[in-house]
Amino acid sequence: MATGHTDRKIGGKMTVGIGAICQSGQCVLMVADMRGSFEDASLPPHEYMGKQYPLPNGFNVNTAGAKVICQSMASELYTQIEKLAKKRCIYHDHIRNAVRETQFLEFLYRVDHEFRFHLGTTVAKWQKMQKTTLLYRRAQRIMRKYYLNVQLSVGGFLADTHPVLLTVHGNEPPEMEELSVIGSGTDPTLEVLVQHGQNPHMGIVRTIMHVYEAMEAAKAKDKYVGRCDGMVVLTPKQIRILQLTSEFMKELSGSFAGRDTEPLDDDMKRFDALMAELHHPGITKKEYDAGKRLLTHPDKPIRERYT
């Protein structure tokens, strides 16, 4: 029997995404795996599915859930944060309200679609109906039952250098976090992070080790979690990428997997090695392999990016 279109959509049982404030609030790490699973079990998973999106003002969002909703909300969130450029000063609640407005608009769009195709009406018309009518009550039930199949972690910094990390689950309000974990791999991920006592005062190298170990645990225990090649490192002034397949990560994970990581907070040699390993988001793999890390002309063609 032929499989219907809806069976081939990217489903909701997918991903693990982590956001972690560290280095005493001077850094936010953002990482997500790349596996997408279809509702049609006969299809193999997509191993290079984008689940992490850059946002204006140096913010970043990890997504989990139904891919179409994740992508739509990431796009709308970009627009909402972009609007904040008109503000004289951006505060934490500006970002949180932008996330909530994104949720509301996506919810409204999808509920309106349900109204149109199941009841032949719209949200605007429903709001003007008599509350005692059968059509009003049927529409009300649809609205009450509709739940956004999406989870978000939004991280970044305000202009005053204060970190922001918010977590969203479906229709629930955005919550302030120091550690944000989303997706089907949440339980094994949190188990590792909690065992290590991960908190914002831990150094960046130590936190990277914890997050890497948590991602590996989720991948081992949850079939919906796939590979992750890079970690986004956000600071008040810059965005950098750490390749998780780098020699730095191989050495770090090989030395501290399953061990006490406290010595990493005072390990300046590894800290310096990390700083040398971080690279600009626009660098190609070929450029990275050639040892290039910083772009001097990021807007120019690839061959002209460096002086």
Q: Do 129 and 205 fall within a single domain?
A: yes
Q: Do 306 and 210 fall within a single domain?
A: no
Q: Do 246 and 290 fall within a single domain?
A: no
CA 175, 181, 186, 188 torsion-angle sign: negative
What single-letter amino acid sits at 55?
A: L
Q: Do 243 and 100 fall within a single domain?
A: yes
Q: Which domain holds residue 287?
A: 275-307
Q: Do 104 and 134 fall within a single domain?
A: yes
Task: Report the percentage of the chain scoring pLDDT > 70.
Answer: 90
> Are 264 and 230 spatial neighbours (Cβ–Cβ below 8 Å)?
no
Q: Do 187 and 240 fall within a single domain?
A: yes
Q: Residue 89 has which token pair?
A: 């000063």
Q: Do 148 and 183 fall within a single domain?
A: yes
pLDDT band for position 299 (cuts 50, 70, 90): low
What's the CATH number where 236 sits?
3.60.20.10
Q: Do 279 and 163 fall within a single domain?
A: no
**pLDDT at residue 2, rounded to an integer:** 33
Please state whether the predicted TM-score (pTM) of the whole model is above 0.85.
Answer: yes
Q: Of 11, 20, 9, 51, give the one whose Cα is nearest residue 33.
A: 51
Higher pLDDT, 115 or 282: 115
Fill in the DSSP letter of residue 6.
G
Q: Do 85 and 26 fall within a single domain?
A: yes
Q: Do 201 and 287 fall within a single domain?
A: no
Q: Do 159 and 190 fall within a single domain?
A: yes
If one counts the domains in the chain, the total is 2
Q: Do 217 and 286 fall within a single domain?
A: no
Q: Residue 142 has which token pair?
A: 């649809």
Question: What does the pLDDT look like over 147-195, one tens digit per residue?
Answer: 999 999 999 999 999 999 999 999 999 999 999 999 988 999 999 999 9
Higher pLDDT, 5 or 84: 84
Q: Residue 11 has which token pair?
A: 């489903």
Q: Residue 138 has which token pair?
A: 């049927």
Task: Report the percentage of the chain scoring pLDDT > 90.
Answer: 71
